């Protein structure tokens, strides 16, 4: 039974359609990540959910109640803003108390709930601090405490990690995930970083041009990307032009690669297709028969292995994972498939 | 909700048009009318009189010369204070910028007491050389120009200092690393960077000079510029000709504004300039540093001397200073009179309540307009903003004439009411004059305000009123304080609109100063001037403290 439902939401701004018939549903306590490049409509979707924008058509339903036209003031959705939007003239405690005061909480009860909310984000005792005295990570936690204090029905997070430096980011991401799970709140998080989405979201919805491209668990998305865009956007993947030979094989620069065609609608044999290859799904070897030939033009260390950039004689640029010492720049090499992780798509849809 | 915002916006636009555009149109039309119908007779009279052309030309060239002179004082001063470190730099920097917050009339009478024919300097020279006559008379275009440069260098000083402070130090280092010498760096890096600041200061100086009334009125003598010409024509009872003159001056002002905007479209470099401010030049030896400090103190002294003079003269009892080079007697008599004699206190009270009322309304109108224009993005937004800014481009004299025309006739169908001669005309005139000041500050403040603050308040269940009170107003406090203080000081010291619209009951400080001068009561005039100076300083100090705290 869906707790939060987005039903064919559409929003057009002058000149472009930001959200185009988007439908999604979340069960109670589920965390959904909206993932997409900038301009994909993910932030607009979040603002439609919060009530800051109203959709041209479509509905937002929470717990059976249609809130599409409910103004944000009465929607009881908590929001963590990208730049946190902490009130600069109020201290930490007053910021957290703000939403509770709207509900009429006063006196000792107010103080107790503010303290509880701050304890939740591990900021006990920070009530009288000015917000400009806090670090970025602390501001983020205060923003979270402020949003959660009035016990909203849904928590919305707009790129909550984008203002943090990389070292802090990973830790904060873990804390954020832990906290949302602990509270058990239904949440939607917007991000353009695949790692954030995969780490925090139970499911991930990939958006592009205002449309939902694919939604699923991180594993599903990685293993079975529905389009070349999803495959390229999630994890690293190289595009290799090829020609379909049969339902289970393609031809790459004259070499036959066994790659199964996933989709129901078969592109005719002999038609051009695109192979999306994860670095670890290819193997680097000596130049020889049965391998696509090319030259190593770059190498990037990742611990014991490295990603080698190879330009094939046919002109494709391909990333291949191998042991760091496997080749040097300028070496001539051969590439062959190494099991799963290769995906086929029609060539005209990039 | 949206429709209601639009309705409010239309009402606001209509109200502003009535107050700002309608009077100007009336003036233009009245210059072309006679009891019988339309006529070009007054325009003919205007065009055929050499005096009118001379006044118009005088306004133009004096304004241009004021820009050049003010820049010549203000720009080097800005470099000195922003680029060189010397003892007392911070304190002097504030002091030198002080004339920016003083009403023009205060500067003018201070100048009179220092350099006028009966001022300190003239008397001293007369005494030194044993002359029978004062060695000079401070009158004519030279005197006007001197006063302008003296009071308007501050625009160049402040704008250039701000521009230099925004200069990215690494840009200078990059220029040096690329082999540019000191002069080439100045010429091809620093000056282009300062272009928007210089353009802004030039425009402000030009428009202020064009609208300047106090200096030409007091020092002009027989030499007329357009603003004084209008007032004299009107005092002669030739209203129709005054209307034509008013129209001519407003066209000159709007034309000048247009030329400036064309010459400097947008100021492309204005956005550049993040990063760290350049390090101050640590001037080599201790001796050089001391010399520079001494130079700065002397410069500051010269620039502030008129205001010190004003303070000194305010302690001189009436009738005690006749031929001596230095006043022989000092007392608090002038100040006591100011606060003990009801007739002398009245102008102070008048100015205070009228300025307070006008500032309050101007701030409220600007706030409402900013909410509608910046947040609700009403379709009439550009119109409203233009209407609020318009009085800035039109000299105060013009508005005084225009408002006098609109509010001297009872004709409700044409939206004209008799307010001239009542308590309300001056606060209304002040309101029109200071709307651009509060408007600019509050609009800028609102544009800097992160819209997600208001959204956060909404998502936390705060309605519009609570969001305004608890989030928007506190966050806007610096902008509100800055706009309101400047507006208040402008209204408090207003001379140019007051002289056209005051009644005996509502006479403000500026006219009391003028009356005292005419009666030879220099001490009383100075005491009033000092009161204006102090009130301005106090209001600014309050505003600055609020800002620091908020």
Q: What is the CATH number of the domain that holds A286?
A: 2.40.50.140
Q: Do B359 and B413 lie in a common domain?
A: yes
Q: A99 near B461, Cβ under 8 Å?
A: yes
- Does residue B33 belong to any structural domain of this protein? no
Confidence of residue B139 (pLDDT cuts 50, 70, 90): confident
Q: What's the residue count for chain B?
A: 550
Q: Do A62 and A140 lie in a common domain?
A: yes
Q: Indicate if the pLDDT at residue B437 is higher than 60.
A: yes
Q: How many domains does chain A divide into?
A: 2
- Residue range B80-102, pLDDT digits in tens: 888 777 777 888 887 788 777 77
What pLDDT is attached to residue A264? 55
Query: Nearest 10 degrees: CA dihedral of A75, A80, A81, A82?
Result: -150
Q: Indicate if the pLDDT at residue A218 is higher than 80.
A: yes
Confidence of residue B271 (pLDDT cuts 50, 70, 90): very low
* Cα torsion angle, B178, B183, B188, B192, sign: positive
Average confidence (pLDDT) over B147-175: 84
CA-nearest residue to B475 within chain A is A89
- Alpha-carbon distance of B118 to A2, in angstroms, equals 90
Could you say which DSSP state residue A334 is in?
A: E
- pLDDT above 70 coverage of chain B, percent: 94
Lowest average pLDDT, out of B245-254, B270-279, B503-512, goes to B270-279
More confident residue, A349 or B492: B492
Q: What share of chain B is helix, strand, coil (3-state, %, to 5)?
A: 75, 0, 25
Query: Cβ A147–B459 below 8 Å, yes or no?
Result: yes
Q: Do B217 and B356 lie in a common domain?
A: no
Query: Cβ B453–A150 below 8 Å, yes or no?
Result: no
Q: Indicate if the pLDDT at residue B281 is higher than 80.
A: no
Q: Do A240 and A222 lie in a common domain?
A: no
Q: How many domains does chain B divide into?
A: 2
Confidence of residue B31 (pLDDT cuts 50, 70, 90): confident
What is the CB neighbour count within 10 angstroms for residue A214?
Answer: 21
Q: Indicate if the pLDDT at residue B7 is higher than 60.
A: yes
Nearest to A85 among B453, B466, B550 (CB): B453
Q: Indicate if the pLDDT at residue B282 is higher than 90.
A: no
B interface mutation test: which of A69, A82, A83, A99 has the most B CBs within 10 A? A99
Query: Cβ A73–B458 below 8 Å, yes or no?
Result: yes
Q: Do A210 and A150 lie in a common domain?
A: yes
Nearest to B520 by CA among B91, B49, B43, B116: B116
What pLDDT is attached to residue A350? 44
A interface mutation test: which of B1, B449, B457, B461 has the most A CBs within 10 A? B461
Q: Do A253 and A220 lie in a common domain?
A: no
Q: Do A25 and A99 lie in a common domain?
A: yes
CATH code, domain carrying B403: 1.10.3720.10
What pLDDT is attached to residue A304? 81
Confidence of residue B546 (pLDDT cuts 50, 70, 90): low
Q: Do B178 and B264 lie in a common domain?
A: yes
B interface mutation test: which of A73, A74, A156, A159 has the most B CBs within 10 A? A73
- Does residue B436 belong to any structural domain of this protein? yes
State which of A229, A251, A276 marks the end of a domain.
A229
**In b/e form, how buried is each residue of A110-136, taking b as 16+ CB within 10 angstroms?**
beebbbebbebbebeebbebebeebee
Q: Do A167 and A240 lie in a common domain?
A: no
Q: Indicate if the pLDDT at residue A266 is higher than 70.
A: no
DSSP secondary structure of B104-128: HHHHHHHHHHHHSTTSHHHHHHHHH
Query: Cβ A52–B455 below 8 Å, yes or no?
Result: yes
Confidence of residue B270 (pLDDT cuts 50, 70, 90): very low
Q: Do B503 and B367 lie in a common domain?
A: yes
Residues from chain A contacting residue B471 (CB–CB below 8 Å): 87
What pLDDT is attached to residue B338? 87
Interchain contact B377–A (C-beta under 8 A): no
Query: Nearest 10 degrees: CA dihedral of A191, A195, A199, A201?
Result: 40
- Alpha-carbon distance of A230 to B134, in angstroms, equals 91
Task: Write the Ramachandran bin of B319: left for phi over 0, alpha for psi from -120 to 50, otherwise beta.
Answer: left
Q: Indicate if the pLDDT at residue B275 is higher than 50.
A: no
Query: Cβ B461–A73 below 8 Å, yes or no?
Result: yes
Query: Cβ B455–A71 below 8 Å, yes or no?
Result: no
Residues from chain B contacting residue A74 (CB–CB below 8 Å): 461
Q: Do A118 and A15 lie in a common domain?
A: yes
Q: Do B451 and B526 lie in a common domain?
A: yes
Residues from chain A contacting residue B452 (CB–CB below 8 Å): 81-83, 85
Which of 531-550 (B) contact A at CB < 8 A? Answer: 550
- Does residue B14 belong to any structural domain of this protein? no
Six-digit token pair at B90? 């911070």
What pLDDT is attached to residue B273? 37
- Does residue B102 belong to any structural domain of this protein? yes
Mean pLDDT (chain B, rounded)? 86
Q: Do A224 and A303 lie in a common domain?
A: no
- Alpha-carbon distance of B25 to B406, in angstroms, equals 10
Owning domain of residue B70: 39-314
Q: Do B213 and B100 lie in a common domain?
A: yes
Q: A150 near B460, Cβ under 8 Å?
A: yes
Six-digit token pair at A310? 């190879």
Residue A152 to chain B, least CA–CA distance (Å): 9
Average confidence (pLDDT) over B373-399: 90
Lowest average pLDDT, out of A4-13, A54-63, B131-140, B343-352, goes to B131-140
Confidence of residue B44 (pLDDT cuts 50, 70, 90): confident
Q: Do B298 and B373 lie in a common domain?
A: no
Owning domain of residue A66: 2-229
What pLDDT is attached to residue A94? 95
Residues from chain B contacting residue A83 (CB–CB below 8 Å): 450, 452
Phi and psi torsions of A26, nearest 5°: -120, 140
Average confidence (pLDDT) over B305-315: 89
Lowest average pLDDT, out of B91-105, B126-140, B459-473, goes to B91-105
**In b/e form, how buried is each residue of B254-271, taking b as 16+ CB within 10 angstroms?**
eebbeeeeeebeeeeeee
What pLDDT is attached to residue A348? 66
CATH code, domain carrying A92: 3.40.50.300
Query: What is the helix (H) or strand (E) element at residue B159, kind and residue range?
Result: helix B141-166
Confidence of residue A265 (pLDDT cuts 50, 70, 90): low
What pLDDT is attached to residue B267? 45
Residues from chain A contacting residue B457 (CB–CB below 8 Å): 87, 98
Taking one residue from A and the other from B, the number of pairs with CB-CB distance under 8 angstroms is 66
Query: Cβ B477–A89 below 8 Å, yes or no?
Result: yes
Residue B375 to chain A, least CA–CA distance (Å): 12
Please, how many CA atoms are within 13 Å of residue A122, restricted to the half-sphere of its CB? 8
Residues from chain A contacting residue B461 (CB–CB below 8 Å): 73-74, 76, 99, 102-103, 150
Query: Cβ A103–B455 below 8 Å, yes or no?
Result: no
Q: Do A28 and A126 lie in a common domain?
A: yes
Six-digit token pair at A276? 């999306």
Average confidence (pLDDT) over B176-205: 84
0.90 exceeded by pTM: no
Q: Do A142 and A247 lie in a common domain?
A: no
Average confidence (pLDDT) over B473-484: 88
Q: Indicate if the pLDDT at residue B283 is higher than 60.
A: no
Mean pLDDT (chain A, rounded)? 90
Q: Do B348 and B393 lie in a common domain?
A: yes
Alpha carbon A302 to its chain centroid, in Å, reads 23
Average confidence (pLDDT) over A140-155: 95
What pLDDT is attached to residue A6? 95
Using a CB–CB cut-off of 8 Å, the residues of A that contact B are 50-52, 71-79, 81-83, 85-90, 98-99, 102-103, 146-147, 150
Query: Cβ B455–A75 below 8 Å, yes or no?
Result: no
- Does residue B10 belong to any structural domain of this protein? no
**Helices first, then strands: H and E counts in chain A:** 9, 20
The CA radius of gyration of chain A, in Å to the nearest whole number, is 24
Residue B438 burial (CB < 10 Å; 0-12/13-18/19+)?
buried
- Alpha-carbon distance of B294 to B303, in angstroms, equals 14
CA-nearest residue to B547 within chain A is A89
What pLDDT is attached to residue B159? 87
State which of B258, B279, B314 marks the end of a domain.
B314
Name all contacts of B475-478 with Cβ < 8 Å and 24+ positions apart.
B475/A87, B475/A88, B475/A89, B475/B449, B476/B367, B476/B442, B476/B445, B476/B446, B476/B449, B477/A89, B477/B546, B477/B547, B477/B550, B478/B445, B478/B546, B478/B547, B478/B550
What pLDDT is attached to residue B274? 39
DSSP secondary structure of B3-28: HHHHHHHHHHHHHHIIIIIHHHHHHH
- Residue range B332-367, pLDDT digits in tens: 888 998 888 888 899 999 999 999 999 999 999 999
- Does residue B328 belong to any structural domain of this protein? no
Residues from chain A contacting residue B456 (CB–CB below 8 Å): 79, 81, 85-87, 146
Q: Do A190 and A83 lie in a common domain?
A: yes
- pLDDT above 90 coverage of chain B, percent: 33
Q: Do A173 and A245 lie in a common domain?
A: no
Query: Cβ B474–A87 below 8 Å, yes or no?
Result: yes
Confidence of residue A165 (pLDDT cuts 50, 70, 90): confident
Residue B356 to chain A, least CA–CA distance (Å): 26
Cα separation values, B40 from A8, A149, B44, B50, Å:
68, 74, 6, 18
Nearest to A142 by CA among A83, A197, A73, A184: A83
What pLDDT is attached to residue B269? 38
Query: Cβ A87–B463 below 8 Å, yes or no?
Result: no
Please, how many CA atoms are within 13 Å of residue B375, restricted to the half-sphere of its CB? 23
Query: Cβ A83–B452 below 8 Å, yes or no?
Result: yes
Confidence of residue B272 (pLDDT cuts 50, 70, 90): very low
């Amino acid at each position: 039974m869906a707790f939060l439902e987005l039903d064919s939401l559409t929003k057009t701004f002058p000149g472009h359609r930001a959200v185009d018939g988007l439908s999604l549903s979340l069960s109670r306590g589920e965390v959904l990540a909206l993932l997409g490049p900038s301009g994909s409509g993910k932030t607009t979707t979040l603002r439609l959910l919060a009530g800051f924008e109203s959709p041209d058509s479509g509905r937002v339903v929470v717990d059976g109640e249609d809130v599409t036209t409910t103004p944000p003031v009465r929607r009881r959705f908590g929001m963590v803003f990208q730049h946190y939007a902490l009130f600069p003239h109020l201290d930490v405690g007053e910021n957290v108390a703000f939403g509770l005061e709207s509900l009429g909480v006063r006196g000792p009860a107010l103080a107790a709930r503010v303290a509880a909310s701050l304890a939740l984000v591990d900021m006990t005792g920070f009530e009288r601090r000015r917000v400009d005295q806090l670090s970025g990570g602390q501001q983020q936690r205060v923003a979270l405490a402020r949003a959660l204090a009035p016990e909203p029905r849904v928590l919305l997070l707009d790129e909550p990690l984008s203002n943090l430096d990389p070292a802090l980011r990973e830790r904060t991401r873990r804390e954020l995930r832990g906290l949302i799970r602990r509270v058990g709140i239904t949440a939607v998080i917007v991000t353009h970083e695949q790692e954030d989405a995969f780490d925090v979201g139970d499911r991930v919805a990939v958006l592009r041009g205002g449309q939902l491209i694919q939604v699923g668990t991180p594993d599903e998305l990685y293993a079975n990307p529905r389009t070349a865009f999803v495959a390229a956007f999630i994890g690293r993947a190289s595009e290799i032009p090829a020609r379909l030979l049969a339902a289970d094989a393609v031809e790459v620069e004259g070499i036959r690669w066994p790659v199964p065609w996933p989709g129901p609608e078969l592109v005719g044999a002999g038609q051009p297709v695109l192979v999306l290859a994860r670095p670890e799904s290819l193997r680097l070897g000596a130049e020889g028969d049965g391998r696509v030939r090319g030259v190593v033009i770059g190498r990037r260390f990742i611990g014991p292995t490295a990603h080698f950039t190879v330009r094939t004689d046919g002109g494709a640029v391909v990333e291949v994972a191998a042991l760091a010492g496997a080749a040097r720049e300028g070496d001539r090499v051969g590439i062959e498939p190494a099991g799963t992780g290769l995906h086929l798509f029609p060539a005209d849809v990039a | 909700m949206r429709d209601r915002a639009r309705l409010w916006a239309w009402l606001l636009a209509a109200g502003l048009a009535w107050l700002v555009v309608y009077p100007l149109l009336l003036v233009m039309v009245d210059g072309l009318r006679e009891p019988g119908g339309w006529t070009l007779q007054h325009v003919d009279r205007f065009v055929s009189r050499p005096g009118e052309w001379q006044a118009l030309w005088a306004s133009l060239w004096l304004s241009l010369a004021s820009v050049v002179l003010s820049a010549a004082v203000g720009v080097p001063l800005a470099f000195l204070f922003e680029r060189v470190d010397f003892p007392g730099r911070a304190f002097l920097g504030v002091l030198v910028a002080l004339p920016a917050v003083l009403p023009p009339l205060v500067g003018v009478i201070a100048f009179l007491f220092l350099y006028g024919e009966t001022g300190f300097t003239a008397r001293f020279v007369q005494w030194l050389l044993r002359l029978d006559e004062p060695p000079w008379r401070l009158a004519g275009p030279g005197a006007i120009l001197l006063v302008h440069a003296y009071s308007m260098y501050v625009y160049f000083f402040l704008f250039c200092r701000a521009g230099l402070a925004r200069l990215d130090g690494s840009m200078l280092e990059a220029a040096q690393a690329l082999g540019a010498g000191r002069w080439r760096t100045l010429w091809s890096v620093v000056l282009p960077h300062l272009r928007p600041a210089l353009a802004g200061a030039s425009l402000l100086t030009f428009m202020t000079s064009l609208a300047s009334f106090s200096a030409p009125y007091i020092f002009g003598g027989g030499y007329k510029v357009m603003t004084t010409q209008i007032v004299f024509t009107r005092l002669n009872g030739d209203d129709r000709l005054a209307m034509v003159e008013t129209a001519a001056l407003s066209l000159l002002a709007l034309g000048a504004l247009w030329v400036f905007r064309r010459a400097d479209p947008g100021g492309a470099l204005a956005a550049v300039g993040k990063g760290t401010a350049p390090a101050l030049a640590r001037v080599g030896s201790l001796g050089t540093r001391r010399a520079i400090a001494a130079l700065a103190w002397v410069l500051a002294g010269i620039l502030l001397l008129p205001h010190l003079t004003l303070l000194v003269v305010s302690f001189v009892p009436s009738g005690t200073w006749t031929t001596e080079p230095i006043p022989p007697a000092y007392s608090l008599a002038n100040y006591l009179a100011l606060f003990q004699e009801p007739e002398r206190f009245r102008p102070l009270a008048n100015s205070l309540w009228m300025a307070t009322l006008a500032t309050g309304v101007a701030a409220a109108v600007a706030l409402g307009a900013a909410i509608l224009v910046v947040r609700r993005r009403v379709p009439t937004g550009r119109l409203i903003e233009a209407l609020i800014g318009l009085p800035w481009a039109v000299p105060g004299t013009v508005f005084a004439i225009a408002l006098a025309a609109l509010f001297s006739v009872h004709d409700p169908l044409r939206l004209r009411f008799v307010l001239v001669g009542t308590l309300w005309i001056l606060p209304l005139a002040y309101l029109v004059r200071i709307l651009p000041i509060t408007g600019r500050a509050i609009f800028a403040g609102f544009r800097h305000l992160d819209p997600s603050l208001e959204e956060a308040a909404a998502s936390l269940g705060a309605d519009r009123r609570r969001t305004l009170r608890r989030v928007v107003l506190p966050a806007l406090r610096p902008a509100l304080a800055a706009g309101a203080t400047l507006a208040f000081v402008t209204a408090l010291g207003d001379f140019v609109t007051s002289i056209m619209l005051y009644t005996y009951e509502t006479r403000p400080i500026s006219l009391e100063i003028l009356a005292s001068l005419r009666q030879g009561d220099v001490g009383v005039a100075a005491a009033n001037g000092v009161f204006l100076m102090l009130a301005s300083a106090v209001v600014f100090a309050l505003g600055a403290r609020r800002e620091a705290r908020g």
